[in-house]
């Protein structure tokens, strides 16, 4: 997401053309979740425009289409998978990780299907898996089983941390909507590869969001000191302040790891004037 309506005039220029919105977003953050690819495979020219709007170090974490993960549940998917891989080819190294988000009904008994799917994937990309059945975190046998399959494929496990969000009842329309849709997953902070990815959901109150990410600052600092290169995505139910919050998280980590590269200087949302 890089064209959120609430960001217009704050983080992005008002009525900026579609071909410019990602460029503006990329001046605030150096990574993005490619959630739209879950719903449809984009055309190569569209993807090429994403590459033109971003620098070579920008990170796309692109979700594999739901026809592969949810409708066909990772079986008999050669056609749509090939089409997706061809479409994202113009990104080159910007395609940081291909994200396999599995449905909540994908249980520990289904891990064999995932193992077969991962073995068939080309080694031209990195892959990461997000599961939404809490049993993967609460049952030690299920945890070990999934970790073993992912390790064999050099794939990462993406935790979706909703623990801070579900600590107190919702207080806004956006929070009430998220309350019924987001998974209640136990906290997981282990990394399997040198490129861990975290998805964190806070609250619409920024102070509560910051309070809830304290442990992630500690974990991220530890990963960096181990030589890993983590990517952290900060969400709130309305996402109104998400780019600013992401930069604040980065600043907190950088205060403890000064050698961490600074984020870009944001492009002003409004033209600069003399008066």
**pLDDT at site 165:** 98
Helices and strands per DSSP (H, E), number in the chain: 11, 8
Strand partners for 197 = 231
Q: pLDDT of 183-230, one tens digit each?
A: 999 999 999 999 999 999 999 999 999 999 999 999 999 999 999 999
Q: Could you tell me the pLDDT band of residue 96, with boundaries at 50, 70 and 90? A: very high
Whether residue 274 is predicted with pLDDT greater than 60 in this model: the reply is no
Strand partners for 62 = 34, 98
- Phi, psi (rounded to 5 degrees) for 93: -70, -10
Rounded CA-CA distance 202/161 in Å is 9
Among residues 71, 77, 193, which one has the least CA distance to residue 85?
Answer: 77
Q: What is the DSSP string of 119-182?
A: HTS-TTS-EEEE---THHHH-HHHHHHHHHHHHHTT-EE--EE-TTGGGS---SHHHHHHHHHS
Among residues 64, 61, 81, 153, which one has the least CA distance to residue 116?
Answer: 153
Among residues 186, 76, 70, which one has the least CA distance to residue 133?
Answer: 186
**pLDDT at site 275:** 46
**pLDDT at site 42:** 96
Whether residue 83 is predicted with pLDDT greater than 50 in this model: the reply is yes
Segment 70-83 shows an average pLDDT of 97
**DSSP, res 228:** -
Please report, for residues 102, 158, 192, 238, the alpha-carbon distance to residue 127 in angstroms, rounded to integers and kept in the order given: 13, 10, 12, 28
Instruction: Decide if 210 contacts 241 (C-beta within 8 A).
Output: no
Q: pLDDT of 105-139, one tens digit each?
A: 999 999 999 999 999 999 999 999 999 999 999 99
Q: pLDDT: is 4 or 138 the higher one?
A: 138
Q: Could you tell me the pLDDT band of residue 64, with boundaries at 50, 70 and 90? A: very high
Q: Could you tell me the pLDDT band of residue 268, with boundaries at 50, 70 and 90? A: confident
**pLDDT at site 271:** 58
**pLDDT at site 115:** 98
Instruction: Decide if 108 contacts 136 (C-beta within 8 A).
Output: yes
Q: pLDDT of 8-38, one tens digit each?
A: 888 888 777 777 889 999 999 999 999 999 9
Instruction: Decide if 131 contacts 102 (C-beta within 8 A).
Output: yes
């Amino acid at each position: 997401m890089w064209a959120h309506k609430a960001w217009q005039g704050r983080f992005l220029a008002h009525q900026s053309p579609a071909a410019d919105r990602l460029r503006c977003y990329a001046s605030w953050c150096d990574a993005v979740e490619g959630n739209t690819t879950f719903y449809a495979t984009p055309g190569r020219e569209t993807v090429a425009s994403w590459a033109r709007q971003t620098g070579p170090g920008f990170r796309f974490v692109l979700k594999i289409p739901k026809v592969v993960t949810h409708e066909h549940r990772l079986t008999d998917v050669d056609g749509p998978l090939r089409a997706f891989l061809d479409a994202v080819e113009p990104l080159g190294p910007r395609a940081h990780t291909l994200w396999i988000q599995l449905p909540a009904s994908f249980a520990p008994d289904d891990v064999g299907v995932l193992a077969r799917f991962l073995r068939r994937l080309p080694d031209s990309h990195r892959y990461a898996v997000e599961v939404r059945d809490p049993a993967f975190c609460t049952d030690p046998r299920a945890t070990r089983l999934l970790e073993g399959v992912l390790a064999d494929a050099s794939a990462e496990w993406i935790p979706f941390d909703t623990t801070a969000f579900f600590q107190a009842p919702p207080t806004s329309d956006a929070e009430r909507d998220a309350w019924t849709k987001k998974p209640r997953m136990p906290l997981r902070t282990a990394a399997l590869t040198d490129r861990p990815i975290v998805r964190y959901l806070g609250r619409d109150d920024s102070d509560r969001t910051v309070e809830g990410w304290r442990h992630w600052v500690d974990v991220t600092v530890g990963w960096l000191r181990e030589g890993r290169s983590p990517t952290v995505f900060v969400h709130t139910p309305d996402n109104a302040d998400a780019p600013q919050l992401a930069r604040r998280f980065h600043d907190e980590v950088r205060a403890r790891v000064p050698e961490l590269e600074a984020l870009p200087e944001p492009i002003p949302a409004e033209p600069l004037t003399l008066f």
